[in-house]
Amino acid sequence: MSRYKILLILTAALIGFLSSRFVVGWYTIIPWMVGTLIVGYLAAKRREALLNGALFGYMIFVVYMPSVYQGASDTKSILMFIGFVMAFSLIGAIAGVVGGFLGNLIRGKVS
């Protein structure tokens, strides 16, 4: 795995965690959106923008959801929540693909 991908994953995790602590509300998606646009803008090729955007969006959701979880702590609830997080994070990946595409599109228009 390249250094860029590792940095991408760590940045997404940091944004997801900080969002859960300091930015709670519908506007939580603003730093996520800006980050995903930047990821797409920095990508040299469209395919790279889509893949990196998906990875970025997925990781944000994977970190954010457990850090705001306040449900039951029994085994069944935790296992159900883990399944929910993994499935719901796919929505984050889809949003990341869209953001990566738009960021890459902006790069093409600006350059």
| Residues 43-88: tens digit of each pLDDT | 999 999 999 999 999 999 999 988 888 888 888 988 999 999 999 8
The total number of structural domains that make up the chain: 1
Confirm if 104 and 46 have CB atoms less than 8 A apart. Answer: yes
| The CA-based dihedral angle spanning residues 93, 96, 97, 102, taken in that order and rounded to the nearest 10 degrees | 170
Rg of the chain over all Cα atoms, to the nearest angstrom: 15
What would the two tokens of residue 67 be? 């850090």
Print the SS3 string covering 11-32: HHHHHHHHHHHHCCCHHHHHHH
Give the pLDDT of residue 38: 95
Burial class (CB in 10 A: 0-12, 13-18, 19+), 10: exposed
- How long a stretch of residues is the chain? 111
Domain span at residue 97 reads 3-110
| Residues 15-53: tens digit of each pLDDT | 999 988 888 778 888 999 999 999 999 999 999 999 999
Give the pLDDT of residue 67: 86
Residue 111 has pLDDT above 80, yes or no: no
Confidence of residue 93 (pLDDT cuts 50, 70, 90): very high
